[in-house]
Structure 1
């Protein structure tokens, strides 16, 4: 039997400590490499109880966050996190021990795993089938249409309940019955990755039967997708938000809402945001979108707002023209200058306004408006315009947003002040391009 190499284990422990020892309430014991030999491991003494023996859901959350960093941030993970290797120290920290079995998760697989979670939650089963090829579950020659149909049947009902209710164990169980039919391959890394996640969910379920590890992890996944500079993830985000060329604002809203549930990137905090703390939510959204990491999403938002304002201007012009015609006897009815694309942009703009009002009033849930009954001379476009007018926040509703401005760091304040000019430039470009098309084409 091959002897264990404690020098290698000590090096693993030191690397694990360097990467994850800075996470709040995570303890990684120090390894004394200079005193360690192949047969003797010298490390910092740690006292505590098995995490599975104490009802500490907070430390389970810490473990989930640490696992997220291991699997999806750095790719160096503890491949043997059984209950005996996870301790709750007497001062309330989560201690990792035993670094003899570690795993490596390369960048392609990390991005592929994130994409798979993203596509699963958003029920994009066609993209999920491609993810399974990327992750090595299926060969490139697989029948994509057949796989998509099978995955839809397996996961459709599970994800319909919402991400917070998706059971990781149930997903694996449902998938297991399909794996044999589709001749799935099981990559060597997969069993270790699944084990590292399933152990934490199993511990949590022991004292909270409703705990779902995917529901706890997805906010960090959402934040990473929105902020990561990886070309692969940005391409996936672009494809997710623009389905067949149509902007899916509902998906962006979902990602933003979920990302707000994530704690800080470098540390966990025990205090949670109150659902009605709209000022904190607005501050977080601004802090995210105004930073360099939020540049990609900021570009999308500015682009869609410019489209919406342009469509809003056209709808307003149609509305005023229609009202003027009603006051002129025997005036010919005017046709709308809006296209179906303009109408879609107007609806998107209205939804953006709803999201803004929703974050203020309901902690993230968009409010519904009563539709006004249009007069005979109002077309459907002018009706949308009237709804937008109705939706604009009042001064009382805008003040909480404005009060956030002084609390932002100076560099973010400067970035925020540049946005109106940027938006105006985009809007002028759209109006100019449309005018040229209509005059010369």
Structure 2
């Protein structure tokens, strides 16, 4: 998904002839604003969950554009191996972490290892991708229920998400526009000026009007990944409610959150 919006940054004066595409970046467009901090971490989601991209390319056209659990379930019931692979990835990722926490308590090192385990949890959430990052972002706003060390780590997920490959992003832009970049933009920043769990933002100057715009690019496969994770999490929520005999309707809570997340995914980055 691609979105062009007017940029709040004033258009700089240009001089000289345009240089090759993707390299024509005057100083005002060359770097992110000082308030934006992008992590130097690699794109852990791509590295650990990249298989969802190829699967996502095959499924996103079949998925509903708004949150519709029966529609999502119909898609993934036809892909049991993908559901199994993702479920195993989620289970083993959190399983290892909980095992380490248990060993810390057994060895009476829980306090010493607290900050390290918090950092490891943040890394797991990044590796699992947008749905889990969004959950963590919501939890990080609750200092009344989350220990300080975990708040510090989870708060990094608010504004320090590593961007995905620029080449992939530029290819997505060209595919969505149906034209080469240099036919649409006279300039575009070589690196994103902001990155989030759902996508990243570049600044560019429209060749036709000279206006500077924000070019928002959604992460590849993000809708399919979120849909699959919600499908799995809702199943787990139903099991947890029955097993623990909870009064809280966990599936309904998850449905409400998923509906909101779908709206954000479709409208914003």
Could you state the TM-score of these two structures normalised by the residue count of structure 1? 0.20
Structure with the greater relative contact order (CA < 8 A, sep ≥ 6): 1 or 2? 2
Structure with greater helix percent = 1
Structure with greater strand percent = 2
